[in-house]
Amino acid sequence: MNEPNFQNFHEAVKKYRNIVLYIPGSPDPDAMASAFALQQLLKYYSIDSDITSCKKLSLAQNMEFAKLLNIHLKDCARISPEKYDAYAVTDYQSNIIKDITGIIPCAIHIDHHEKADKFEKSDFSIIDQNSGSASTLVALLIKEINPDFDIETMERVATALIFGIQTDTDRYTHTSNRDIEALKFLTPFSIKKIIKRLNVKPLEPETMLCYKNAHSNAVTYKDWGIYPAGYISIKHRDSLAIVADIMLRESGLKTVITFGIVEDKKNEQLILDASFRTNNPKLDLDRLIKGITPGGGARKYKGAFQVKLGYFYGITEREKFLDIVEKATVEKLQKAKDGNYILDIKSVYSGFMKKIASFLKNQ
């Protein structure tokens, strides 16, 4: 394994005075922890920064995580890039951010997924698939720099990074040597009662309903489990990921996909949202998902995609529409299983359109 190069971090960022830390994907514990720890490291070098997320926190566990460790997220819609000297991205394959790339430079990009085909040049970059989380890489960066953090800051940083590593390694199921090295470094500083409190958080009612629907609608296809979960509020969209984790443990199958139609009432939008989990090291999950939509992606054992369902928000025949989307999605996923990852976003969308057009014609 090639060793990540943690040298010259300060040299790369010292020319900036104000950096915005972007979380383009879901603000899960790994994304928040790596951004928060990086924020504290920048502060050590007298560089101001804000953490901004393009999606709102949706799980009670993640909300409590942010609250307990005093992690503040700003809404990216309210962020003006002109107020910053540069931007940073952690826990995301691409560092190309709409409405910011090209306006200000990318100072930092740290990620543990497969490198995206298109990316922006950054002053400091670590992309390492041999690490189970972005939190691992930021932890090793801090270990290398050895900043003189005060006790409270180090405790918050260590606790956040440990929980980020735990989350993205599926409770340490898929840890690498680098993850173990990071955990050994962080553990003496962590606040164990916070980690324990986060781990005993019960499932929310909305997540339990998502699980019930997915379990009732389960489709087993060869060594894949496909779980349609119905309609889900955007506030609870992360329930799909939690249920996918549960299904992988319970089903005994190699690969599971949990999907549902996410309702965004504020923006009057419906979104097909799917979470993938696999125990098959030979499955190229990233390639599979990018065959569905370039905006989706994966690391070795988990991934996700979203597809906007056009102008169907407010459709009156909700249950019939749900049935059409679920059947079309199951059919496309089965073809993906048989066709060695040859899904196409146009075929997915056109498939929906043909079925919906037929449905409307017969009304």
**Under 8 Å between Cβ of 183 and 54:** no
Q: Is residue 1 part of a domain?
A: no
Residues 219 and 71 in one domain: no
pLDDT tens sequence across 164-222: 999 888 888 788 899 999 999 999 999 999 999 998 777 788 888 999 999 999 999 99
Give the pLDDT band of residue 340 (cuts 50, 70, 90).
very low
Across the chain, how many H-helices and E-strands are there?
12, 12
User: What pLDDT sits at residue 290?
Assistant: 82
Report whether pLDDT(5) > 50.
yes
Q: Which of 213, 188, 22, 174 is nearest to 104 (CA)?
A: 22
Residues 241 and 170 in one domain: no
Residues 77 and 183 in one domain: yes
Q: Please state whether 184 falls in left (phi above 0), alpha (psi between -120 and 50) or beta.
A: alpha
For residue 85, count CB atoms less than 10 angstroms from its CB and return exposed for 0-12, middle for 13-18, buried for 19 or more.
middle
Extract the tokens encoding 163. 């929980």
Q: Is residue 173 part of a domain?
A: yes
Number of folded domains in the chain? 2
Strands 18-23 and 48-53: parallel
Q: Is residue 4 part of a domain?
A: no
Report whether pLDDT(85) > 90.
yes
pLDDT tens sequence across 219-241: 999 999 999 999 999 988 989 99
CA distance 214 to 257: 10
> What is the arithmetic mean of pLDDT over 32-47?
97
Q: What angle do CA 12, 77, 89 make, to 5 degrees?
A: 25
Last residue of a domain, one of 156, 176, 199: 199
Q: Which of 61, 52, 3 is nearest to 23 (CA)?
A: 52
Last residue of a domain, one of 182, 199, 216: 199
CA distance 50 to 18: 8
Residue of higher predicted confidence among 361 and 54: 54
- Domain coverage including residue 212: 205-361
Give the pLDDT band of residue 47 (cuts 50, 70, 90).
very high
Strands of 219-221's sheet, edge to edge?
219-221, 224-233, 255-264, 269-278, 302-308, 297-298
- Where are the strands (E) in 117-268, listed by range? 122-127, 219-221, 224-233, 255-264
Residues 124 and 20 in one domain: yes
Report whether pLDDT(342) > 50.
no
- Residue 127: CB atoms within 10 Å: 20
Residues 183 and 218 in one domain: no
Report whether pLDDT(38) > 70.
yes
Q: Is residue 215 part of a domain?
A: yes
Residues 159 and 275 in one domain: no
Report whether pLDDT(54) > 60.
yes
- Residue 263: CB atoms within 10 Å: 18
Comparing 82-86, 153-157, 347-351, which segment has the lowest mean pLDDT? Answer: 347-351
Residues 64 and 13 in one domain: yes
> What is the arithmetic mean of pLDDT over 3-22?
90
Residues 169 and 215 in one domain: no
User: What pLDDT sits at residue 345?
Assistant: 42
CA distance 208 to 306: 22
Most confident of 183-192, 298-307, 330-339: 183-192
User: What pLDDT sits at residue 349?
Assistant: 52
Alpha helices in 265-317 (DSSP H): 285-290
Residues 259 and 336 in one domain: yes
CA distance 8 to 5: 8
User: What pLDDT sits at residue 356?
Assistant: 61
Q: Which of 363, 285, 296 is nearest to 324 (CA)?
A: 363
Residue of higher predicted confidence among 350 and 109: 109
Q: Is residue 46 part of a domain?
A: yes
Residues 70 and 168 in one domain: yes
Question: What is the overall mean pLDDT for the chain?
Answer: 88
Rounded to a whole number, what is the distance in angstroms from the first to the last CA of the chain? Answer: 60
Q: Is residue 2 part of a domain?
A: no
Q: Is residue 255 part of a domain?
A: yes
Report whether pLDDT(319) > 50.
yes
User: What pLDDT sits at residue 361?
Assistant: 56
Q: Is residue 3 part of a domain?
A: no
Report whether pLDDT(350) > 70.
no
Residues 79 and 23 in one domain: yes
**Under 8 Å between Cβ of 278 and 301:** yes
Extract the tokens encoding 89. 């991205």
Report whether pLDDT(346) > 90.
no
What CATH number has the domain bearing residue 114?
Answer: 3.90.1640.10
What CATH number has the domain bearing residue 308?
Answer: 3.10.310.30
DSSP state of 238: T
Give the pLDDT band of residue 89 (cuts 50, 70, 90).
very high
Alpha helices in the chain (DSSP H): 9-13, 29-44, 60-68, 134-145, 151-168, 177-186, 192-199, 205-216, 239-251, 285-290, 318-338, 345-361
pLDDT tens sequence across 252-281: 899 999 999 999 988 899 999 999 999 988
Residues 44 and 86 in one domain: yes
**DSSP H or E stretch at residue 274:** strand 269-278
Last residue of a domain, one of 152, 170, 199: 199
Extract the tokens encoding 12. 């790369």
User: What pLDDT sits at residue 354?
Assistant: 62
Report whether pLDDT(159) > 70.
yes
CA distance 63 to 272: 24
Give the pLDDT band of residue 71 (cuts 50, 70, 90).
very high
